[in-house]
Structure formats: C-alpha cells, structure tokens
Structure 1
Amino acid sequence: MQPEKLTITPLTAFQDNYIWCLTQPDSDALLVVDPGDADVVKQFAHSNRKQLTSILVTHHHWDHTDGIAALKQQWPDVRVYGPAYEANQISTLTHSVQDNDSLTLPDFGLTLNVLHLPGHTLGHIGYYAALPHHAPWLFCGDTLFSAGCGRLFEGSPEQMHQSLQRLVNLPDETRVYCTHEYTLANLAFARAVEPDNQAVIAHLAHCQQLRHNQQPTLPSTLATEKAINPFLRCHLPDLQRKYDCSSAQATFTALRTDKDQFKS
C-alpha cells in the first residue's frame, strides 16, 4: 500500500455535511463515508471515472445514510459497512461491524479499526487507519468535531466523554475527518470558554480565512484539537474552576450543557 497515493476529497452536501471520498490514481475504486446525498457522490464518480466499491457508515442519522439506497441501485455490489448496534435502523447495510473489528479494504490496501463511540447515538462508531510512514486517519462522524463534539441525542455525557477520551489517546498526528463544517461556530464557543487561549484565537483567524476562500476547515489533527477543543480540555484545572467542578467528567457535562444553550 502507498497511502501517499490515496486522496481524500470532501463532497459538500446539504448545508454543512461533508461526504469523504477515497480514491487513488491507478484504480477506479471509490470509497465514501456517510453518504447522506447520492447525487453528489454520483457526480463525483462520473466526473472522476470511478466505481463505488465501499461505503462506511458511522451512525444511523438520515444525513449520513439517506443516499445509500440510490447508490446501491447504481452499484449493486457495493459493500456497506456500519454499526452492528444500529443495523435495525440502517436497512441498507451489507456488513455489520462492532468495536475492535478489523476491516480490510482490498481495493485500497487499507485496514481500518472500528471504534465504538457512543454518545451522539448509542451505536455510533468511528474508523481508524494506522498507516505506515503516514499520519493516521480517523473518520469519526459526529462524535468529535473541530473545536467541538456531537450533541447527545441518545447517549449520556459519561458515554460521550469516554468516547472522546478514547480518541484523545490516538496519536497526536492523527488526521480527523469529521462530517460537518461546524468549526467557526465551535470556535466561537471555545473562545467564550477560554478567551485567553492563543491557540483558539490563531486557529479562528486561520479558519475564517479558509471559509472566506470557500475551503473546508477539515481535516483537523488531534494535536490541534487538544489545543483548541474545550471538550478535550476538561482535565485542566482552570476549566474545572471556571465551571466549579472537581472532575473532568463533571466539567464535560457542564460544558455540553453550556454549548447547547450558547448563542454566538
């Protein structure tokens, strides 16, 4: 495998979704992550002369799954991987996977490790690729966002905090491919939480320029997120004092409640 030849392209869908596409120059194979919209995937495949071979699904929400049925009509042999815990909510899956499964994608010479990341939904999973001589990749759906994390639609604050702690333990250079362009709004909250955090201030300016140029703010890296993302910084004494909490878990719970009510 030559990961440097693999290209990851974001396709924009709806207001702020990204559908991540994996391609390589010497193959017609295409992999997509969380295709809520079939049309943008079909257009990409046609214009790049690719054939859809694999779909990765992180969770059951419609904006991550609604395009799958139409894509399977066009590419009947496509393999659709998704969380076993939510298989009854995603009727289009062909392969159910669960925590610590190893998923081999021969079209790309890739092996992905499946991580169970409950919180946003109970069965939410992520896909992690440790690559030789290359920064690892993480497709984390709506668990970790740049400067933020997903809302708790089904899981508890304890589950989400534990899921994020699991991601924090991955290598700092891990490239984070989340599925929404929420970065500027999240950074506004991060700055309200830590107004003197110079990393937040600098990253906000950088991302504002990217969006001005109609470029995505993603992928991020775990090193960046540890510096700017308040939900990954709940262990810090200053943040715990701010929220009058004595533990990282309690601070996370207070932060998540604060974020839900935040108006930038």
Structure 2
Amino acid sequence: MILALMLGAATPSAACTLTAPQDCASAGEVLAAPGAVEGIRSIAGQRRGNFLRDGLPLVADQAIEVLRGIPEKPRRIANGWLFGACRQASCGEMAAVIVDARGKIASFAVLHGACPLDVTRPGCARALTLSIWGGNDVVNWRGLLTDWATRYSSGVVDNVFLNGENEPVITAVGEFDGDRVPDTAAFAALGDSWQVTINRGVEPGKAIVVATTADPAGYTLKATPAGLVFGPPGLLSRAQWNGARFVTRAPAQ
C-alpha cells in the first residue's frame, strides 16, 4: 500500500528553492535546495535518538536519510507545502518536512519503529512512533503531521512526541526489583538534560528517576540478573531495588 502511494524518481527541477517549493518535485529536491539541510539541523540541534539505528545518532541526520528515500507526491497545505518520503531499506519508516509560506523549514517528522533495540519483543515490528520537530511552533504542525503519518501507516501510530521531550530513545525490559514482574527502563530527553527512569511492573505509569546526564553520547541501558546497568562508556552504574527505592552503585559488576 505504501509503495503504491509513492512516486518514482522525478526529473530535477532547476527552479526548486525554499522560496518556490511549488517547483520542487520531491523531498530529495527540497534537501538539495540551499538552506534546507541547515534548516532541519537548526530545528533539531544536537538532539539524538535511536530512530533508525542504535548509538544515538543525530536526529537531523536520520530525518535527512529518510527524506532522501522513495518520495511521495508533494502536497499543498494551508501555510506551505509538505514533502514526504519513505526509507529506502524499510518503507514502513517515513519522514516528512514542511516548507512554510515564508520559504523556511518549519517542521519535520520521522515515523519510526518504537523498539529499535529489541525487535524480538512482541509488538515491536508493528509499533510505530511519530517524532515531530518544529521548535516553539511545533504544536502548530502536530495535527497535520499526525494525520499524514496515520494515513501512510494504515492508522497505526502508537506514540507521538514533540521536539523529543520525554521520548524514550533507548529502552530495556527486565526484572529490576526482584518481584518477578517485568519492569521497563527508558532513557529520554528532558529539557537540556537526559534522564534514566524505571517503570516497575507493579506500578504501571509511575516513572522513577534513577539518573540524569547532560551528555547522551554512547549511553547504555542493559537488563541484567543483578538489575539495570546504565551509563556512558567506562562509567557504568547498576540500579537495584532495596525494597523501598532503587539504589545505584558504580561501577557495575
């Protein structure tokens, strides 16, 4: 279904610019326009996530990769144009970019698998997350981009996050508190920092913060029989439940 909605390779248009998006035949052409890639990078900054692969690569780089894939037909919207594409290697993962009436990159979104580190878990192959980025104006584009993602995913969008806030970029499922009920750990952005939280299986919906960091590069979450192992390279810690709270020790053994 998705492939049927895609366009074939389009003939490049010399007139394609951000100020004349109506002359752009595809998302790939938009990316070739002066200022487009810089606009996407400006919106996402140095934020990172495991959308397409592990290792917390830059969000902007992953969006650009997908936008260079198999293109959709451009769509005129109320305040600009929407250009979309699906990932060459996995057309169920998609991205869209909006060029607004001012000739600026206003927003972009990536529709990606929700369980990038553990694809063997039940539901991971079907669960999709929509990550929308647009700076202070991101809420203006949420409805439009959610509708776009829902249309091309046959209605299956499990989670929507804005500007990466509270979006788990690494998850780990294991038995962290000794009660034999599976628990879930997540590593997510919170403002300018990042935090590790654990949701105990017996207390669904209650996130317990066990660590914070300013630098997500190379961060690890790993379920072990002795608890949750987490941290940057060379500085791993272990979180264990003492009956009342999680206690962290470093280094992990």
- TM-score w.r.t. length of structure 1: 0.28
- Larger relative helix fraction: 1
TM-score normalised to the size of structure 2? 0.29
User: Larger Cα Rg: Structure 1 or Structure 2?
Assistant: 2
